[in-house]
Each structure stands twice: as structure tokens, then as C-alpha cells.
Amino acid sequence: AERTLVLVKPDGVSRGLSGKILARVEAKGYRLIDLSLVSATREKLEAHYAEHVGKPFYEPLVEFMLSGPIVAAVFEGERVIEGFRSLAGATEPTTAAPGTIRGDFGRDWGLKVQQNLVHGSDSVESAEKEIGIWFS
């Protein structure tokens, strides 16, 4: 079955929302396969965000992802990649649709990076790569 990597980013963990966020993914019907509280490293982030290296928000994004612990999870189910991204909502939390994780729990905090609570893989290839980075 299809699998995706979900990260609860440092803002979600520090605000005490990890349990709520994971519960929403489980409530939608996806199966939790693996779960870990981890600290990112520059090396992991460079591999994870390879397509963003060199963009203006890359360094603030890395600093943000290094700012505290992250919850890494693998979920499984039919079309889980698409399903989780739909549940997460649009990248920008201020305007992400209400009912989504980012829309319900996130907002702009005036910082250089979007603190948008969660990451979800965007393709089968990314999911395989990212699961290998965070669960090795």
C-alpha cells in the first residue's frame, strides 16, 4: 500500500499539537506504521529539502527545522500522499482553508519562514526518499 512521510515541525511539537495532529490523520483512516521524536541535522535537511537549496527561504527554513524536536511518522493507505496533503492544507497557514491542519492551527508569526506545522511527501518517489532520511 502507499506510504507517506509526515513531519510535525518544531512549531507543532513546541505548541503541544503533535498528538492532535496525529489523531486527525488516524481519524481520516490512515494507518500509523512508524513514529519517532527526532532532532533534525543540517545533513538530513539538505537531503530532505534538496529542491529548495539556494532559495531565499532555505536558510531560515533550516534554522526553523533545527529549532526543536520534530515528530516523524509514516502513514499508510490508498492515496495517502494526496489525502494527507489535502488534510494539511495550503503551504501558507494564514489562508489555508479552515478544517485543514494548517488552516485550523497555523498563522503567520511575522518570521522569515512559513511556520506551517506539518510536512507531507508530495509523490511516491519523495515519500520513499524521505522515509529513508528520517527512518534509517
Q: What residues make contact with ligand GTP under the rule CB under 6 A? A: 52, 57, 61, 91, 112-114, 116, 119-120, 122
* Residue 52 CB, nearest approach to ligand GTP (Å): 6
Q: Which is nearer to ligand GTP, 37 or 111 (CB)?
A: 111
Taking the complex as a whole, the smallest distance from the CB of residue 35 to ligand GTP amounts, in Å, to: 18
Q: Helix (H, G, I), strand (E, B), or coil: what is residue 64?
A: helix
- Please tell me which residue in 119, 120, 121, 127 is annotated as part of the active site: 119
28 appears as a binding residue in the annotation: no
Q: Calculate Rg over the CA atoms of the chain.
A: 14
Indicate if 52 belongs to the active site.
Answer: no
Is residue 8 within 8 Å of residue 22, measured between CB atoms? yes
Name the DSSP letter for residue 98.
B
Closest to ligand GTP by CB, 35 vs 113, is 113
Set of cell numbers at residue 130: 524521505
What are the C-alpha distances in Å from 99 to residues 31, 96, 102, 109, 128?
21, 9, 8, 20, 28
Catalytic residues: 119
Feature table: binding site for ATP = 9, 57, 85, 91, 102, 116
Feature table: binding site = 9, 57, 85, 91, 102, 116
